[in-house]
Structure 1
């Protein structure tokens, strides 16, 4: 089973962004997705670092793709989306409008923000040129297995969300800006203060979700630590790991050890909690009644 590193969902300083991909060049991952997924206003701060990162990762033998934005609303965002196809590397679409800018017959991959919930959608995307689909994180294991079978028939590799805060929604409004009494056009990049998202509690003080600019994320960190064998049996070809600010290169190494059978699920889970500073883990979308459930609790 391969390891894919998805696009960084958060807004980091350019030097921290570059340091991540320098570290990933040496990490035991197979594929890396670069670029801005959440908010186009962030892109100018590290745009000049994307090509060097692409070259570094390619030289290290990694497969590299460029992500499209999750929500395209402005003319400059349409132009930037169209420019992705001109770079000469694989494009991962996270908004179906990106398909209009790809040359006819071009191969592409599909990110987890595109709602691939059934075999018909998968086959339609395969006919358009999709070679890999990262399924939405909220699918149960039975649906993953069904889509993996359909993917095998259509020549499409299936990937699942393996680690990281789960993307739940994208909005036209910026939560971080509103929190600070600002409008989206004058946000002053408040999201930079929360490199792993800002925790949102319920009115009675219980952790509920996280916000990241215009994006809503899960409060817990999804982890497939206990689900490697069922996913492999289901025909899943890759796990997607989403970057975090603490110990991410080590996180990648731990997942590789787990895939190789060098450590067990409990060891991986314990190390993930340590590296993140105590973040709560979950895998309930795959196996439980609620997305926030964690099969490791019973173990």
Structure 2
């Protein structure tokens, strides 16, 4: 079982991004996804910068995959997607059907978690178009995953989102800019002020959602470390860990322990608890509301 580092979902300074991936190069992750998936106005890094980070990680033995933007709204964004697809150096994760169309039958690709692949027919179609790996939709329960994989026509790697705040929705509107009473096109790059997103609470002071520009996330952190033995039994090839601004090395270390020793799950969970900046949830995996935390049955 491999560990992947998902694409950076937040807006950080150029220096912070380079420092983050330099530290990630020394960790146990096997696969690293790079690129801007949320908002094209985030210009701290250009394509050349992402390529330079990719070269650094590849030299350290990591598999590098470039992720395309989820919601394309302009001709410029479509053009940027095509540049990413034609990078000529690294694999690509397609996060919308435009990227799938650009990649189909021309190069192998990863079918991202935002393609709405909820049945075996759609998954087999992606396989025919050239997908060699797919990322399970975040809200799919384990029993539905098992049912789908039983009907896949050919070998296909499965990647499961195993840790991080879940990206629940994308919008043409920027909620961070709106919160600051700014128009989207003159946002002042307010996202830079929130390295892990902007927390929303209910009237009862419970953490509810996180605003991340045009993306809405869960406030609670989806955490499947206790389910690693089950994931291994199901034959899941890749576990995706979503970047956070602090303690990411400890997150990776905890999952590395869990994947290498099923009897060390308690120690791995204790280490991970020290690295989390909010409470955990795993409800979707257990066919329950996503914000629930279900203890696996021994």
Cα distance in 2, alignment partners of residues 195 and 93 from structure 1:
25
Q: Which ranges in structure 1 are unaligned for 5 or more consecutive residues?
A: none
Residue in 2 aligned with 1:46? 45
Residue in 2 aligned with 1:237? 237
TM-superposed CA distance for 1:156, in Å, is: 1.2
SS at match of 1:164: strand
SS at match of 1:221: strand
TM-score normalized by the length of structure 1: 0.94
Cα distance in 1, alignment partners of residues 192 and 271 from structure 2:
26
1:1-299 alignment runs, 5 A limit: 1-42=1-42, 44-47=43-46, 48-88=48-88, 89-102=90-103, 104-151=105-152, 153-261=153-261, 264-277=264-277, 279-296=278-295
Cα shift readout 1:178-208 (whole Å, capped 9, x = no counterpart): 0000010011111111111111112332211
* Number of aligned residues: 296
RMSD: 1.7
TM-superposed CA distance for 1:49, in Å, is: 2.3
Cα distance in 1, alignment partners of residues 294 and 237 from structure 2:
22
Cα distance in 2, alignment partners of residues 178 and 297 from structure 1:
40
Cα distance in 2, alignment partners of residues 196 and 170 from structure 1:
17
Are the structure 2 counterparts of residues 192 and 232 from structure 1 closer, same or farther at C-alpha, using a change threshold of 3 Å? same
Are the structure 2 counterparts of residues 298 and 220 from structure 1 closer, same or farther at C-alpha, using a change threshold of 3 Å? farther
**Contact 1:18 1:53 (C-alpha < 8 Å) held by counterparts:** yes
SS at match of 1:40: coil
**Contact 2:227 2:296 (C-alpha < 8 Å) held by counterparts:** no
TM-score normalized by the length of structure 2: 0.94
SS at match of 2:239: strand
**Contact 2:254 2:269 (C-alpha < 8 Å) held by counterparts:** no
Are the structure 2 counterparts of residues 34 and 93 from structure 1 closer, same or farther at C-alpha, using a change threshold of 3 Å? same
**Contact 1:25 1:57 (C-alpha < 8 Å) held by counterparts:** yes
TM-superposed CA distance for 1:63, in Å, is: 0.7
TM-superposed CA distance for 1:236, in Å, is: 1.1
TM-superposed CA distance for 1:169, in Å, is: 0.2
Cα distance in 1, alignment partners of residues 197 and 127 from structure 2:
34
**Contact 2:85 2:92 (C-alpha < 8 Å) held by counterparts:** yes
Cα distance in 1, alignment partners of residues 232 and 85 from structure 2:
32
